[in-house]
């Protein structure tokens, strides 16, 4: 199975702070991999480098077997990203935002794609509204809608179900599983909800202080640490690394 993401010796320094400290990992095609760690562990910085939003201090990033720095436009056209913490232009309506991004992504039938996703994420009533008036949960649904406009082959998902009502969060997880299985979409997934991670991710990578401190299947890590679930493993790893 080919690697869709390949990271080699990736580092990012901000002044005297080493946010990401020489990490290396791969993510196989069609898999959902959890990227876990407490706040400040380096997850967001890693994703920002994978999206070429910030430049690594050191290291290599390959997506679809090609170096990101040499094939940026081509590779990023096959990728998308969702986070409820990234603001979309607030002076546009929801429809205007989605149409703008759809055109940027080169979506051929813009109205049809927006209609399909608006129905799924139940945002049809939001389409004429200004983005500035949306609640946190509504912004989360809009971010997910935006992320699926271009039928991406690789998705970076940062807390994609945060603030969603339980029924929509459940439907969103089922959708992500379905598109992973049916379309072979590869996903790198961050969340603080370990139950969600156990449901979605056959493999997790734990980051702490910019380093990879463990990597494996959730059930294997639960056994390794002698804990009852992944949440307890998360807490133990965080405590151990904080103590060092």
Residue 242 is predicted with a pLDDT of 57
Please choose, from the candidates 210, 214, 158, the residue with its C-alpha nearest in 3D space to the C-alpha of residue 13.
210
Mean per-residue pLDDT over the chain, rounded: 92
- pLDDT tens digit sequence for 62-116: 999 999 999 999 999 999 999 888 889 999 999 999 999 999 998 989 999 999 9
Domain with CATH 3.40.50.300 in the chain: 3-78+153-243
Mean pLDDT of 200-215: 96
Yes or no: say if 218 and 197 are a contact pair by the CB < 8 Å rule.
yes
pLDDT at 60: 97
SS3 track for the chain: CCEEEEEEEEEEEECCEEEEEEEEEEEECCCEEEEECCCCCCHHHHHHHHCCCCCCCEEEEEECCEECCCCHHHHHCCEEEECCCCCCCCCCEHHHHHHHHHHHCCCCCHHHHHHHHHHHCCCHHHCCCEHHHCCHHHHHHHHHHHHCCCCCCEEEEECCCCCCCHHHHHHHHHHHHHHHHHHCCEEEEECCCHHHHHHHCCEEEEEECCEEEEEECHHHHHHHHCCCCHHHHHHHHHHHHHHC
Percentage of the chain exceeding pLDDT 90? 75
The fold adopted by the segment(s) 3-78+153-243 is Rossmann fold (3.40.50)
pTM of the model: 0.90
Grade residue 241 by pLDDT with cuts at 50, 70 and 90: low
Whether the pLDDT of residue 172 is over 90: the answer is no
Distance CA 208, CA 72 (A): 28
Question: 165 or 97, which is more confident?
Answer: 97
Predicted pLDDT of residue 164: 83
Token pair 């109205």 is at which residue? Answer: 111
Instruction: Identify the CA nearest to 166 among candidates 130, 198, 196.
Output: 196
What average pLDDT does the segment 152-166 reach?
Answer: 90
Tell me what pLDDT residue 225 has. Answer: 94
What would the mean pLDDT of 181-189 be, rounded to a whole number?
A: 92
The pLDDT, as a whole number, for residue 243 is 56
pLDDT digits (tens, 9 = 90+) for 24-58: 999 999 999 999 999 889 999 999 999 999 999 99
Average confidence (pLDDT) over 157-181: 87
């Amino acid at each position: 199975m080919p690697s869709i993401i390949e990271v080699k010796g990736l580092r990012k320094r901000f002044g005297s702070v080493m946010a990401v400290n020489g990490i290396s990992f791969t993510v196989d095609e069609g898999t959902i991999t959890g990227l876990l760690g407490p706040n400040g562990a380096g997850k967001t910085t890693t994703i920002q480098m994978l999206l070429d939003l910030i430049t690594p201090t050191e290291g290599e990033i390959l997506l679809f077997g090609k170096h990101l720095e040499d094939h940026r436009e081509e590779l990023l056209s096959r990728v998308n990203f969702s986070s409820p913490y990234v603001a979309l232009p607030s002076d546009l309506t929801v429809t205007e935002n989605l149409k703008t991004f759809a055109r940027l992504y080169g979506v051929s039938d813009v109205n049809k794609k927006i209609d399909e996703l608006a129905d799924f994420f139940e945002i049809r009533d939001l389409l004429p509204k200004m983005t500035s008036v949306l609640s946190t949960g509504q912004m989360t649904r809009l971010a997910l809608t935006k992320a699926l406009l271009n039928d991406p082959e690789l998705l970076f998902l940062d807390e994609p179900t945060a603030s969603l009502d339980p029924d929509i969060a459940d439907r969103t997880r089922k959708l992500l599983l379905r598109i992973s299985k049916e379309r072979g979409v590869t996903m790198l997934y961050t969340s603080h909800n370990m139950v969600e991670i156990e449901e979605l991710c056959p493999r997790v990578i734990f980051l702490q202080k910019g380093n990879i401190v463990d990597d494996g299947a959730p059930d294997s890590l639960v056994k390794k640490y002698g804990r009852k679930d992944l949440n307890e493993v998360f807490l133990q790893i965080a405590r151990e690394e904080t103590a060092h």
